[in-house]
């Protein structure tokens, strides 16, 4: 079992080295966080496999966990711990208060819950190797089936965060939602509010490459002063002149410059209009409001 885990670690390390070479050498913390989308498939698949195996062995109260199943449970637990840590780093702390931020927060805490359950499943599976009993068998099933449900929910909301709420409506409350209860698309407000309208766009599309941890093109975007200072191409925003600001220009494909964000879907017309109007109105970036309980 230790040899297999060692091989898995070497494979992940090799992947990290290849990403480091191909992506302008970002920080190791950033690389570790980005590996979340690679490693997260281990707990997703393995916890579902464990639940499936236990379903097939439902009539066996004792002795139903052999060494191979125990190895799968341990790998699922270890990969869950690492994937949860990666996801936490990838999401960061400044999520804002948008619907996207709420989805990420739900995904994050479901991931933490899944990790706890996966670790408990692994501990019980290992304990059954040293002497199985009806009590351990029942306890194993108490955790392995909720673990499969939790990892399904976690993966679902991870997909919703990446692709939008209508990407894969497989949950009952999504499939049978009444169109009358769906939120209408918000028009561009008369007064653009940074924390309500702009920060969620920056968090989802920009901060991964332009925050305090990493500044591609020497550009940092997590404060107004940094945006005014700009990066290699000069100042990013010209308050009062949205369409002339480099930040807006780079959201479109240029002859010499690629569209930004480079490795994500293009911003929608509404998002671009919000950023443009925010700059037209002076690019006001007030202190973050404190939330009261």
Same domain (yes/no): 119, 16: yes
List Cβ neighbours of 81 (8 Å cut-off, separation of 6 or more): 115, 118, 119
Instruction: Reply yes or no on whether the pLDDT at 23 is more than 50.
Output: no
pLDDT of residue 180: 42
Same domain (yes/no): 117, 236: no
pLDDT digits 0-9 by tens, 199-234 = 989 988 888 888 887 888 899 998 999 999 999 888
Residue 215 placed within a domain = yes
Residue 293 placed within a domain = no
Same domain (yes/no): 17, 125: yes
pLDDT of residue 243: 92
Q: Residue range 240-245: average pLDDT? A: 93
Residue 290 placed within a domain = no
**CA separation for the pair 160, 156 (Å, rounded):** 6
Same domain (yes/no): 201, 260: yes
Residue 206 placed within a domain = yes
Confidence class of residue 107 from pLDDT cuts 50, 70 and 90? Answer: confident
- Average pLDDT value for the chain: 77
Residue 186 placed within a domain = no
pLDDT digits 0-9 by tens, 66-91 = 788 888 999 989 888 888 887 777 66
Same domain (yes/no): 158, 254: no
Same domain (yes/no): 276, 143: no
pLDDT of residue 117: 93
Same domain (yes/no): 99, 236: no
Same domain (yes/no): 154, 203: no
pLDDT of residue 283: 93
Q: Domain ends where: 125, 144, 165?
A: 165
pLDDT of residue 44: 78
pLDDT of residue 104: 77
Q: Residue range 147-168: average pLDDT? A: 76
Residue 140 placed within a domain = yes
Rounded to two decimals, the pTM is 0.54
Residue 180 placed within a domain = no
Domain span including residue 95: 2-165
Of the two residues 94 and 119, the one the predictor is more confident about is 119
Torsion of CA 188, 189, 195, 201, to 10 degrees: 0
Domain count, the chain: 2
Same domain (yes/no): 123, 251: no
Same domain (yes/no): 139, 86: yes
Q: Domain ends where: 165, 182, 203?
A: 165
Which residues, listed in sequence order, are joined to residue 234 by a DSSP beta bridge? 231
Same domain (yes/no): 157, 204: no
Same domain (yes/no): 145, 205: no
Residue 100 placed within a domain = yes
Which two three-digit tokens encode residue 51? 């639940």
Confidence class of residue 166 from pLDDT cuts 50, 70 and 90? Answer: low
Of the two residues 35 and 13, the one the predictor is more confident about is 35
- Among the residue ranges 19-23, 79-83, 144-148, 278-282, the one predicted with the least confidence is 19-23
Of 16-25, 84-93, 130-139, 217-226, the range with the highest mean pLDDT is: 217-226
Q: Are 167 and 160 in contact (CB under 8 A)?
A: yes
**CA separation for the pair 278, 85 (Å, rounded):** 35
pLDDT of residue 4: 57
Q: Domain ends where: 119, 146, 165?
A: 165
pLDDT of residue 176: 58
């Amino acid at each position: 079992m230790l040899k297999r885990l060692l091989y898995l670690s070497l494979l992940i390390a090799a992947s990290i080295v290849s990403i480091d070479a191909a992506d302008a050498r970002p920080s190791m913390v950033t690389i570790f966080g980005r590996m979340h989308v690679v490693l997260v498939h281990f707990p997703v698949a393995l916890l579902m496999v464990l639940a499936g195996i236990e379903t097939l062995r439902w009539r066996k109260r004792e002795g139903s966990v052999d060494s191979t199943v125990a190895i799968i449970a341990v790998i699922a637990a270890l990969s869950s711990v690492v994937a949860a840590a990666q996801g936490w780093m990838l999401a960061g702390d400044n999520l804002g208060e948008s619907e996207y931020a709420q989805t990420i927060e739900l995904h994050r805490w479901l991931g933490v819950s899944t990790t706890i359950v996966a670790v408990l499943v692994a501990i019980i599976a290992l304990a059954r190797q040293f002497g199985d009993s009806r009590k351990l068998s029942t306890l194993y099933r108490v955790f392995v089936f909720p673990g499969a449900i939790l990892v399904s929910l976690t993966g679902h909301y991870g997909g919703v965060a990446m692709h939008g709420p209508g990407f894969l409506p497989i949950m009952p409350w999504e499939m049978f939602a009444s169109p009358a209860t769906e939120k209408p698309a918000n028009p561009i407000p008369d007064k653009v509010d940074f924390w309500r309208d702009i920060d969620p766009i920056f968090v989802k599309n920009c901060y991964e490459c332009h925050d305090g941890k990493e500044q591609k093109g020497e550009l940092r975007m997590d404060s107004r002063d940094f945006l005014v200072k700009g990066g290699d191409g000069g100042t990013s925003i010209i308050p009062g002149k949205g369409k002339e600001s480099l930040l807006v220009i780079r959201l479109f494909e240029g002859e010499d410059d690629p569209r930004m964000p480079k490795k994500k879907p293009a911003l929608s017309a509404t998002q671009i209009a919000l950023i443009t109007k925010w700059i037209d109105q002076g690019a006001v970036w007030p202190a973050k409001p404190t939330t009261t309980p």
